[in-house]
Amino acid sequence: MARRETVRDIEAICRLDLDSRELRRRIAERLTRLVPADSYCFGTIDPTTLLITDDVSAGLTPAAAAAAAHNEYLVDDVLKFAALARSEVPAGTLGAATGGDPESSHRYRAVLPMIDARHELRAGFVVDRRCWGAIALFGDGGRPDFTPADVDVLRLLSAPVAAALRRAVHRAPADAAPGPAEAGVLLLDQDLRLLSENPAAKLWRDELAWSGAELPIAVLEVAARGRGAALPAYGRIRGRSGRWLSVHASPLSGGPYPAPLAVTMHPAPAAEVAEVLLLAYGLTPRERDVLERVVAGLPSRAIAMELHITAATVQDHLKSVFAKTGVRSRRELVATMLDL
C-alpha cells in the first residue's frame, strides 16, 4: 500500500509545471519518506552524452562529488549510470550488483566512506530509450541495505520521472541570473582541483553553481571524462539564467609535471541547443524531420518534396509540433528552437 501511494504521489508531482530543480527536490523528499536515505544525489543527464549536467543533493561534500565523478568515468566499476540508462531494469543496489561483495567495488571503498555510507541504491530515469536523469541514495551502517522492493519502486518511477525531467528541459529556471558572453577557461590538476582560471570562468562557474561548491557537478563530470579520453570531452548544460552552455575538457601535454586539464565554457551554439530541445519536446522522428527543415527556412512545399509527403501532411505535423512546443507560428517556433 505504501509503495503504491508513493508511486501515485510522485506521478502527481511529475504532472506539475515545475522547473527541474524544484521537481527533483519534491520527488526526492517524497521518495525518501518510503525509502529512507542518509544522503542522496539526484542529477539531470544529457540524453546524448549521458553526462550528469546538474545535481540536487543532500549530505554530500564537494570532495565526494569529485571522487564520484572520477569513479564514474575513469574506474571500472558496477552499476554505472550509463549502464543503467541502457538496462532493461534501470535500477539496482551496490550489494546486489557485486554479488554480495561490495568491497570489490571501487566506489564502495573510495567514495562511500567519504559520506559515511555503506549502502547505495541507484536508478536511471528513462523514457523512449533516452535517459534524462539518475538518482543515487545512500545509507549508513546503522541501516539495513536497500531492498528489492525499493529497487522495484524506482523501476516503476523510471518512465514518469524521465518524462517530467524531459519536459522541464525547456522550462527556464525560476531564479534567473545573468551570465557572461565570453568564453571561460579553467586549469584543473589530476585530482580535478582548480589551479587557475580567467575572469570569465569565475562568472560561468557562478552561473552553473547551485550548491556553493567550487566546481559545479557538470564541470567535474566533463573534466573526469576528458581526463581519461584521447579526444576532448563535451557536455551541454543549462545555467541559472536559462542560457545553454557548452563545456569542453581535454588534457594538456608537455612539461615535466603531470599535465593539467583545460576546461572551456562558452554559450552553446544554436544547433546544439536545438538538438537537445528536439528530444525534450518529445517529438516523433517525422516531426523532427519537419522541424529541422522549418528551422532551415524551407517552405512547406519544399519540405514535402524532400520528405516525399504531401504539403497537407507537412501542415499536420507542424500543428502537432506547435502543440507540443506551445507556439503559434513558424517564427515563434524558430525562435524557441534557436533559443533567441
pTM above 0.95, yes or no: no
Closest by CA to 263, choosing from 306, 299, 215, 295, is: 215
Q: How many CA atoms lie within 13 A of 321 on its CB side?
A: 29
> Quick one: pLDDT at residue 256?
60
Domains of the chain: 2-168 (3.30.450.40), 184-271 (3.30.450.20), 283-337 (1.10.10.10)
> Quick one: pLDDT at residue 31?
97
> Is 167 strand, coil or helix?
helix
Distance CA 120, CA 142 (A): 13
Chunked into runs of 10 residues, the chain (340 residues) has average pLDDT values of 93 93 96 95 88 88 86 88 91 96 96 96 94 95 93 97 91 58 87 89 79 76 79 77 83 74 86 76 86 85 92 92 86 74
> Quick one: pLDDT at residue 202?
86
> Quick one: pLDDT at residue 276?
78
Residue ranges with strand state E in 216-260: 233-238, 244-251
